Amino acid sequence: MEDLIDVSRRAYPGKAIYITPANLEAVAEWCGGSLVNAHLTRPGDIRCIEIVRRNPGGSVKNRQFAFIGQWIVQANNQFTVYKHTSFMSTFERTERKEALKAAFERGQVIAVLVGMLSVEMNTVEEITACAYENADRIMQIFGGEK
């Protein structure tokens, strides 16, 4: 699936995908989950992906439900569901990190960032966040990959 992105969390890499109405069925197939009606966990007629983890003997270890607007991460041969805010604070896109690092080393990003920076950005963290959020645009400007 072209929507899969490379991510890393601390010392182990993984794959992640953001769940949308358009990719719900494909994501369920990718992670081995089932499309179910979430009426047991949320009111209304809401489809979601149920992921069942099993013990070595085959009994159910636990169940997770993934909804549109959440992320599923595959790492260490298992799938885990994350809310968007948890995902964003835990993972970073590995190709963006490497591409930005290379661009910074070439000294090419500073001029572009000057045009993006707001006068409200006063800390290294705010500037870094701006660079990260605009990584695709920065790499397009310099002819690099998204």
Please give the backbone phi and psi of residue 54, each rounded to the nearest 5 degrees, phi first.
-115, 150
From residue 40, alpha-carbon distances to 24, 46, 50, 74, 141 in Å are 19, 10, 12, 25, 48
pLDDT at 46 over 90: no
pTM: 0.57
Residue 125 has pLDDT above 60, yes or no: yes
